[in-house]
């Protein structure tokens, strides 16, 4: 993947809102051998993606630890990255880093103790675009003024 | 706020990705008196917004509790809602529900035990648009293949 494209996707992530503007995120670009090694450790990802960006929670930058705001920041950043990749005609996928794999991922990438792997955003060129988006609106999950009130 | 607009903002939230497609979110539309009562309990929000949508984590729908995936789902949903509101020319703000206020919010809105208040997305009509967006790209937070590697 061209470096410029990867950086634009990451930049979109950095425009996410964050709690008290803490921006408690870090990004590790994974391609080639480090990417293959990552996938071998945390094997929930389709093996066909050419690269991924590991988004990490920066617990040192996190201002409201009791609320886990670094997770909120990083989730919003990942969502922005997915939208930016889609906008570019690429395919992207949010894949979790499993709790049991975090130690090994940290070791592999030499992450400091305050940097916790959160999700790997896989990016690639789709063979074809999905034909359609299934409707997702679900009125049963919307309440008005009080739980269960439907107007 | 027109109901149609509110529903389109919530619908954008429902198009967020979620862990294993669990869609572990619920939405409570807050206007008028319930909104004022909510703000009195969880007073971190500007009091000038005409309404808010309380996004809640549905712990019953959550498939991977040990990973707190409902928080990821809801964060991605909130980010989509902010973008949709912005697209409509509205202003929107992600405000947290503080831990200490969750019990009272739950009581006020009659939320069942498995529904945990997460964030209130305030929506309003901005008096003016912000003049510019500060640059947010920060290359120091990007690493290549290993922590600290800069190319």
Strands A25-31, A51-58: pairing kind:
antiparallel
Structure tokens at A74: 């990083």
Instruction: Work out the average pLDDT over B14-22.
Output: 97
Mean pLDDT of chain B: 94
- The distance of A112 to chain B (nearest Cα, Å) reads 8
What is the least distance, in Å, from the CA of A92 to any CA of chain B? 11
The residues, any chain, with a CB within 8 Å of residue A117's CB and separated by 6 or more, are A54, A56, A97, A101, A102, A105, A106, A109, A111
Q: Which of residues 67-126 of A touch B (CB under 8 A)?
A: 67-69, 71-72, 75-76, 78-80, 82-83, 94, 96, 98-99, 109-112, 115, 119
Predicted confidence (pLDDT) per residue in B94-109, tens digit: 999 999 999 999 999 9
pLDDT tens per residue, chain A (151 residues)?
999 999 999 999 999 999 999 999 999 999 999 999 999 998 777 778 999 999 999 999 999 999 999 999 999 999 999 999 999 999 999 999 999 999 999 999 999 999 999 999 999 998 877 777 889 999 999 999 999 999 8
Q: Is A20 on the interface with B (CB under 8 A)?
A: no
Stronger pLDDT, A132 or B6, i.e. the higher one: B6
Q: Is A137 on the interface with B (CB under 8 A)?
A: yes
CA angle (A98, A102, A104) in 5-degree steps: 125
In the predicted structure, residue B131 carries a pLDDT above the cut 80: no
Q: Sign of dihedral through CA atoms B110, B114, B117, B119?
A: negative
Contact check, Cβ <8 Å, B145/A32: yes
Interface contact flag, B67 A99, Cβ < 8 Å:
yes
Residue B73 has pLDDT above 80, yes or no: yes
Q: How far is B17 from chain A (nearest CA, A)?
A: 8
Task: Tell me if A25 sits within 8 A of A93, measured CB to CB.
Answer: no
Q: Which residue of B has its CA nearest to A65?
A: B99
Residues in chain A closer than 8 A to B133 (CB atoms):
15
pLDDT band, residue B125 (cuts 50/70/90):
very high
**Beta strands A51-58; A115-124: pairing state:** antiparallel
Q: Do A145 and B10 touch (CB under 8 A)?
A: no
**What is the arrangement of strands in the sheet containing B115-124, beginning at the earlier edge strand?**
A142-144, B25-31, B51-58, B115-124, B91-96
Instruction: Please enumerate in sequence order all residues whose Cβ is within 8 A of that of A36, keeping only pairs 6 or more positions apart, or say none.
Output: none
SS3 content of chain A, % helix, strand, coil (to 5): 40, 25, 35
Query: Which range among A41-45, B12-16, B24-28, B133-137 shows the weakest confidence by mean pLDDT?
Result: A41-45
Phi and psi angles of residue A140, each rounded to the nearest 5 degrees, phi first = -70, -15
The label of the residue with tokens 């912000």 reads B130
Higher pLDDT, B52 or B45: B52
Is B46 a residue whose pLDDT tops 90? no
């Amino acid at each position: 993947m061209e470096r410029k494209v990867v950086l634009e996707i990451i930049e979109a992530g950095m425009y996410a809102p964050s709690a008290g503007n803490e921006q408690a995120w870090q990004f590790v670009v994974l391609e080639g051998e480090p990417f293959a090694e990552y996938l071998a450790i945390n094997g929930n990802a389709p093996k066909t993606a050419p690269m991924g960006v590991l988004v990490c929670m920066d617990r040192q930058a996190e201002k409201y630890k009791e609320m886990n705001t670094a997770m909120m920041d990083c989730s919003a950043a990942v969502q922005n990255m997915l939208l930016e990749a889609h906008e570019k005609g690429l395919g992207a996928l949010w894949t979790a880093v499993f709790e049991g794999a975090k130690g090994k991922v940290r070791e592999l990438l030499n992450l400091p103790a305050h940097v916790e792997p959160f999700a790997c955003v896989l990016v690639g060129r789709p063979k074809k675009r999905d034909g359609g988006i299934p409707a997702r609106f679900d009125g049963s999950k919307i309440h008005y003024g009080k739980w269960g009130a439907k107007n």
